[in-house]
Structure 1
Amino acid sequence: MAGGGAANSVLLASANPVAAGDDFYLPPPLPPTPGAIVRAEPAQVALSAPGMPGIVPAAATRMMYVSSDTHDAPTAVVGTYLQPSVPWTGPGERPLIAYAGGTKGQGNQCAPSKLMTQVVQYQPPADIIFEYDLLALSSLLARGMAVVVTDYHGLGTPDVHDYLNRKAQAYALLDAARAALQLPGTGLNPAAPVALYGYSQGGMASAGAAELQSSYAPELNVRGAYVGGPVVDDEYFIGYNDGRSSIAPAFAWILNGIAADYPETRPILDAELNDTGKAILHEALGKCAVPIGLAQDHPRTSEWTTSGEPLTAVIDRNPELKSAFDEQRIGTLTPSVPVLTASAMNDEGAPYVPVREMAASWCGGGVPVELDPNAQIPTMWGLVGTHVLAFFPSLADSQQWLTDRFAGWPAPTNCGALP
C-alpha cells in the first residue's frame, strides 16, 4: 500500500504511555546529576523466595535513577540491583557488574525490571517474552559478584525506548553502576571495582559504555568490559538482515527510536514510509520480542517504503537520517579499559565483519582486546539461531576473564593476529 495515513504517522512514536498502576515508572522532576537515585524499593525476583537463594541467589532492589539521553539531557531510567546471597571469594573487595541485557522489545511491559519479577510476560494474542538473561545473572551472582541491570532509556518509563542507540544505552549502563554504588546497605563503596557486561543489544551497550566511560563517568573504577555478539552499526545491521522475518521487528524499533530522538527525521519518515511501514512501526512500539506480527509478515523493508526501495537506500539519500544513523556506530572512539569480545563468525543476526573492524580499531588505539570468533558454533537460522547459541559458550570464559581483571592480571590480547 502506497501513501501515508495520519492515523499511522510515525509521530505517534514520540510517546509511550505508562500503564495504570505503574506509578514507580513515572518520573518526578529530576535532579541534574547523572546516577542520582530518584526512588528505590525492595523487589522480589521470580523463582526466588525470602531466605532461600532459589534460582537467582540475590536480594533485589528496584530503583529509578537519573541518566542522560542521546542529546545529554537528564532522563529517568529504571534498573535492578542484585545483592548476592553468597560471599565474594575472589581478590579484593566485592565487585559490581553493570549488566546490559539482550533484546526484549520496545513495549513498557518488556522492561527487565518487570520481567525479573515474573520471568514470562504475556499479552494476548501472541506478545510473549521471557527473561533469558537470568542464566547469566545467576552465574555472576553465584560467584559473589554484585550486579545491577539497567532497563535502558524508555523501557517502562514514558519515553520511547531508543533501541540500539549508542549513547543512551551506554549512559544508562554507566549510570546504573553509579546509582548502585550509592545504594545504602550494599557494602559497596564508590571506588569498588566495576566491570561492564552485555551480549547482543547488551554487547552494543557495553561497547558504547567502554568507549564513553573515561569522558562520561571517569570516577568509576572500571576494570574491563565483556562485549558479546554486539550490533556495531545500525544501518549495516538492517541491510545485513533485510528480509529475515525473525529480525524484522528490530528494524521498526530502531526507526521508532530515531524518530523519537531526532525530530528532524520525522517528516522524512512520514514521507518515505507507506501505510504498511507506518503500521509496522506503530505495532512494534508496544511489543516485546515476539515471533509473529506485521513486521514478520513483511520482512523486506522495500515493502515498507513509498519508493519501493529498501530502508538502507532511504537512509543513504536523506542526510538527516544518515547523520542520525551514523551517530550510532561503535568503534569511532577508543575504550580506556581492556575488552573481551565474543562474536560468532557466522552470526546470522549481529554480523561479524563490523565487530572485527571495531576490535581492530580499538587495537589501533592501544587497547588490549581479545576477540573470540566462536568458530565452534554451527550456522543455524530461526528463533534459535547462531546468534542465540553463541551466547552460551562465553558465559564461563567471560566471567573468569572478569575475575582475572579484578585480580589485576594483565589482559590477554590477540590484536596482533585477529581471527
Structure 2
Amino acid sequence: MPASTRLLAAAVTAAACLGAQAVPAAAAEPVVSRGVRIPEFYTPPATLPAQNGALVRSEPLPLALSLPGLDGPLPGRATRLMYRSTDAAGRPVAVTGAYLEPAAAWRSGGPRPLVAVAPGTMGQGDQCAASLGLQHPLRITARTVSVGYENLAVYRLLARGIAVVITDYGGLGTTDRLHTYVNRVDEAHAVLDAVRAARSLRGASVTAASPVGLFGYSQGGGATAAAAELQPSYAPDVTLAGTYSGAPPADLAAVTEAIDGSDLAGALGWSVNGFLQSEPALGEVAERHLNTAGKAALADLSTMCVGDALLAYNSARSTAWTTDGRTIGEVVRDEPALRAFLEEQRIGTMKPSGPVRVATGVNDDLVPHDQSRELAVAWCAKGADVTYKPVVLPDLGRSLINHFTPLLADQGGAISWLTDRLRGEPAPSACAALPSQP
C-alpha cells in the first residue's frame, strides 16, 4: 500500500471517529510507510495459532553491526520472529520481534539465561519497529528518521552470554493494525509471549529451564513493569528472575500533562491514537474535542518514528488540536470515559512477580520522576522485592535530554543488577529506605 494511500486512510478514519485504525495490506501490494517498504514478513496471516507465544513464522535477520568470528558472527545470530499474543480485549494478535543467540558463552553456570528487551518509544509507523532497527540502526530518508537505540543494551547483554528476545509490540511492524502505544496489557502480553516464542525457536539454546529477565526503559519500562504484574495470571510458565523498569510511565495522566509542549510532544498523538485503537468507543469523545488540525496531526503521527516527531512536532501544544483550546490533559480530566480508561492503564495496582529494579532520573520531566518513584513505593506496600535507583544527574534544561541521559548513565548498573538475578543471587529489598530517598 503506498504511503499516501495509508496516510489518507488514517486521516479519513481520524476525521470520522478518530479510531486511527491501520488499514490491512492488500495481499498483492507491498506496504510502504513514509517511503519505507515493509518486508512481507511483517504482514500477518489470516489465522493465527491457538496458543499464546506460538511461532507464526521466523527467518534469519541480518544484523547491521556484526563481525565474523571463529564460531560464527559476533555478537551472535539473529532471527526475525512473528508470534501470537493477545490484546487487552482478549483478541489474538500477531506480534513481531527478534531472537538473538549470543556467540559468547554463559560462564556463570546453569542454562543460558534469556532477557526479554522491551523497547523504549520508537514511534507508530511500521518502519520504526525495533527488529527492523537491528537490521537498519540508522535510517534517514526524505520522509522518515529512525534510530535503533535499543541495540546498545541488546549487544551489552549478548556480550555477557545472555540470549535476548526483543519485541516490537502489537501493531508496530505488523501491518494489520496500529500500534497500541503505552497500553499496559497489550505490551505486557507481547513481552511475556516473546519469551515463549524464543523458547520454542528451533536451534535456540534457551529452554524452559533458562532463567528469564525483563529489561526496559521509558515505554519499555512501563511494559516490563506491567509484565511483572501480569505474569502470574497471564504467563505462569514464565518465571521471572528479575525485572528492570527504567523511567516507567506508570501514571499516564501525569505523563500526558508532562509531554504536552515538550520535545517529544508527538508522543501525545501516539498515545491518543493508541487509546482509540484499544477502545474504539472513545472515538465519540475524540470527535467532540479534536479540531481539524488535531485530527490531521493524529493521522500524520500514526506513520512517524521518534526522529520524525522530534523534527515535526517539537514543542507542539495540544491546545492547537482541540475545539475549545483546552489541553488534552484538561479534556481527560473532564471526560469520565477518558479518566476511567487511563486509570485502567495505571501500573502499581498489583504486586510484581520476582525482584524488580526501578530507576528514574530525578530531573526527568518527560516521564516525571515522582510518578515513577510512587510506583516503587506502591510495590513496596504490596510486599514486593524492590530496588529503587534515583539517577542523579545535572538538570540539563531540556525534557528529552533529562529523560534520555539516565538511560545511558544507568544502563551498565541495570544490566549488572539483572545479570546477578540471572545468576541466582538474591536482591535485598530497599523498601525500608525508599520513603526517605529523593
TM superposition score normalised by structure 2: 0.89
Match of 1:284 among 301, 307, 316: 301
Residue 4 of structure 2 corresponds to none
Equivalent residue number for residue 391 of structure 1: 407
* Root mean square deviation, CA, Å: 2.0
Q: CA deviation at 1:50?
A: 5.2
Aligned to 2:180: 162
Aligned to 1:242: 260
- Kindly indicate whether the alpha-carbon contact (under 8 Å) linking 1:348 and 1:381 is maintained by their aligned counterparts in 2: no
- Aligned match of 1:365: 382
Aligned pair 1:128/2:149, yes or no?
no
> Please, which of 281, 285, 306 is the counterpart of residue 264 of structure 1?
281
Matched, 1:99 2:117: yes
Of residues 113-122 and 144-153 in structure 1, the stretch that sits farther from structure 2 once superposed is 113-122
Q: Aligned with 2:250: secondary structure?
A: coil
Counterpart of 1:210? 228
Q: Is residue 318 of structure 2 the alignment partner of residue 306 of structure 1?
A: no
CA displacement at 1:52 relative to structure 2: 7.3
Correspondence for 1:410: 426
- SS of the residue aligned with 2:408? coil
Equivalent position SS for 1:224: strand
1:293 and 1:130, CA in 2 relative to 1: closer, same or farther beyond 3 A?
closer
Q: Residue deviations 1:126-168, cap 9 Å, x none?
A: x202111111111100000000000011011121101111001
Quote the Cα distance in structure 1 between the aligned partners of 2:371 and 2:335: 23
Instruction: Kindly report which structure 2 residues correspond to 1:315-330, keeping only aligned pairs within 5 A, or say none.
Output: 315-330=332-347
Q: Aligned pair count?
A: 411
Q: Contact 1:62 / 1:81 at 8 angstroms: preserved in 2? A: yes
% identity of equivalent residues: 41
Structure 1 residues 6 and 72, CA gap change in structure 2 (3 angstroms)? closer
Residue 63 (structure 2) pairs with residue 45 (structure 1) = yes
SS in 1 for 2:229: helix
Aligned partner of 1:327: which letter?
E
CA–CA distance in structure 1, aligned partners of residues 420 and 158 of structure 2:
16
Partner AA of 1:207 in structure 2: A
Aligned partner of residue 99 in structure 1, secondary structure: strand
- Look up the SS of the partner of 1:38 in the other structure: strand
State the shift of 1:8 in Å.
5.0
| 1:19-60 deviation line (CA, Å, top 9, x unaligned) | 166321111101221100000111101121454799960100
Q: Secondary structure of 2:361's partner?
A: coil
Task: Report the CA distance shift for 1:384/1:262 in structure 2 as closer, same or farther (over 3 A).
Answer: closer
1:354 to 371, 376, 383: 371
Cα gap change, 1:99/1:243 in structure 2, threshold over 3 Å: closer, same or farther? same
SS at match of 1:211: helix
SS in 2 for 1:105: coil
**Secondary structure of 1:180's aligned partner:** helix
- TM-score, normalised relative to structure 1: 0.93
Secondary structure of the structure 1 residue equivalent to 2:116: strand
Write the distance in 1 (CA, Å) between the matches of 2:298 and 2:288: 14
Please list every run of 5 or more consecutive structure 1 residues that lacks an aligned counterpart in the other structure: none
